[in-house]
Structure 1
Amino acid sequence: MKKILFLIIICQFSCKGQEYCPEGTNLLPMYGQIKKCKEQLDSDKKFIAESEKHFGDEKKASKFYVSKGWEYFYKNENEISMKRFNQAWLLDETNPEIYWGFGNLLGKKGEFEKSIKYFEKSIEIDPKNAKVYESISISYGQIFYKTKNIKYLDLTIENLKKAVKIEPENGRAFAQLASSYSYFVQKDSLRKYIKITDRIDPNLINPKIREIAKK
């Protein structure tokens, strides 16, 4: 009985000495910004050192893992994609595509409000990527559909205009602008953006939007 009690006491002391390691953090953007345990931090240091040795520097390594993040994103393997974007972030926090990737992955999950801050961070680092403005406009558009709050429609349009200013031949963004203006009573802007889109690619305009423009 004394031996059993002694073993229980030893176990209690040893268990208290073990550091808790949070699980699943690699499935959250920036690892959820959750404090990691020593084992995880040591693993991160090893990964960074090995990546630097293999690619020459951390920025090159980060670009590689971003490319893998997109590869899995388009394969709809979202958990692996998130892991790769997190590895890229671990290597270079200044890479704007990482935050764009985080935002798109959250958008896929329908977490549009959460996606906004990552798109904004990407734009803060690189304000010349038209596709990020398209992505953030989609999130604002989805929030508008859900809330019917006009300010989100205004933000959708604002960001699409920034996208087409950077890429004047971006038919997809012009088509989205046309769709956004279909919610207004005044149809002049709707017709304007349909006309611009048709010049680039008439297949991009939804027939329902054309019908609204005729009313």
Structure 2
Amino acid sequence: MKRILIFSLFLVFLTNINFSRAQDCPQGINLIPMYGQVKKCTQQIQSDNQFIEEAEKQFKNKKAASEYYANKGWEYFYKDELDTSMKRFNQAWLLDNENPNAFWGFGNILGKKKEYEKSVVYLEKSIALDPNNGKVFYCAAVSYGQIFMEKNDKKYLDLAIKNLNKAVKIEPKNGSYYAQLANSYAYYQKKDSLNKYIRKTDEIDPKLINPEVRKFAKK
């Protein structure tokens, strides 16, 4: 009976140790950009190191592995599987913490979750690392535009226009950028700029202009 009691107490002791260890490990951090930049527990660090080691065996270097996981992140993003997408972008960042695609992914996921102010932080980081990707400038413009809609503060509309102007310099044949510029100038009620960007959009794809914006321009 004494042995059974000791054994039972030992099991309770082990359970408490395991529970304590689990408590020391921050949970759900793979669903937050850059793992929330929190201090990881020993178990998580070991798991990270093992993941990096395996990735280095499968790819020619960590940058190549990072691009692979970033591409997987986009694959799940377009399937609207945002949690899995975030996990893949985090793995991409873990392998290369200067991969602009990882930060772009973080920003787009947060934007899709309507966390626009957080979104632009990561999109701006992506731009700082790669200032030649027009699509990231466009994504930043969309998030700044949404912040403008929420706060009615025109400094965010200015930031949206600034990013769109950079986007069109990089990709001058992208009609979506001109259409978004037209939408932005409609809020400013600047008819000259509005009509200019409607014409530029129409040269590429007239369907991109919002009919309400077109009506406003004709008043």
C-alpha distance in 2 between matches for 1:168 and 1:16: 58
Deviation at 1:11, TM superposition (A): 3.0
Amino acid at match of 1:42: Q
Unaligned runs of 5+ in 1: none
C-alpha distance in 2 between matches for 1:46 and 1:62: 15
1:68-107 equivalences in 2 (<5 Å): 68-107=72-111
Q: Does 1:141 align with 2:141?
A: no
1:9-158 equivalences in 2 (<5 Å): 11=13, 15=17, 18-19=20-21, 20-158=24-162
Deviations 1:56-112 (A, max 9, x none): 211110010011000000000000000000000110111101000000000011100
Deviations 1:135-158 (A, max 9, x none): 000100000011110101111111
The alpha-carbon distance between structure 1 residues 17 and 168, as it changes in their structure 2 partners (threshold 3 A), is closer
Deviation at 1:184, TM superposition (A): 1.8
The alpha-carbon distance between structure 1 residues 178 and 7, as it changes in their structure 2 partners (threshold 3 A), is same
Residue of structure 1 equivalent to 2:193: 189
Unaligned runs of 5+ in 2: none
Counterpart of 1:179 (choices 179, 183, 187) is 183
Q: Across the two proteins, how many residue pairs are aligned to each other? A: 213
TM-score, normalised with respect to structure 1: 0.93
**Alpha carbon RMSD of aligned pairs, Å?**
2.1
C-alpha distance in 2 between matches for 1:185 and 1:137: 18
C-alpha distance in 2 between matches for 1:17 and 1:193: 60
C-alpha distance in 2 between matches for 1:66 and 1:111: 21
Amino acid at match of 1:40: Q
C-alpha distance in 2 between matches for 1:185 and 1:210: 12
Deviation at 1:17, TM superposition (A): 9.9
TM-score, normalised with respect to structure 2: 0.92
The alpha-carbon distance between structure 1 residues 213 and 40, as it changes in their structure 2 partners (threshold 3 A), is same
SS in 2 for 1:182: helix
